[in-house]
Amino acid sequence: MNFFKTSGVAVALVLAGLAQPAFADETLQVFLWDTGSDVDMIQGHKLSDRASRVGEPMGISANASTVSAGEITFNVLNTSDDTIHEMVVVKLSDVNGTLPFNEDEFRVDEDLMNGFGEVSELEPGIRGQLTVTLEPGTYVLVCNIPGHYSSGMWTILTVE
């Protein structure tokens, strides 16, 4: 076997590996929904209380709950008929805790959370997009319109 030919293949494989992105690029479809603007708002906001979320009047759904680290594009659609929603990406330090909550404003305190970007106030039926680079960890997608997070507008996203 020719040493240069074998070495050339090895070098090509190494260089090809270096040319690969360190992270994968992914697109996530996100849906912001509610059961109507005349619903009562829920008063709880513990992320650890995921088991009892059936029947919540609002929510965030995504086509995947786990994505690969790297550049993530969030394609967000507000499916509501009459309510403005938004989506904020927050990195969690404790999946069993709570986000910093401002009781006076009835929303997550954005100055105290580890936010990575947002798709701001989407009118009903409108789409928005956000592209961010996320490292491995646990994140939560929240709607931070007053009262929406407490009414179930959040979902956990795992980045591997």
The answer to whether 38 and 81 are in contact (CB under 8 A) is no
Average pLDDT over residues 14-30: 58
More confident residue, 22 or 89: 89
Give the C-alpha separation, 149 to 105, whole Å: 12
CA-based nearest residue to 60, from 43, 81, 80: 80
Structural domains of the chain, with CATH:
23-159 (2.60.40.420)
Between 16 and 126, the more confident residue is: 126
Task: Give the strand pairing for 70-78 and 127-134.
Answer: antiparallel
Rounded distance between C-alpha atoms, residue 39 and residue 33, angstroms: 13
pLDDT over 90 (residue 1): no
CA–chain centroid gap for 104, Å, is 25
pLDDT digits over 52-62, tens only? 555 678 899 99
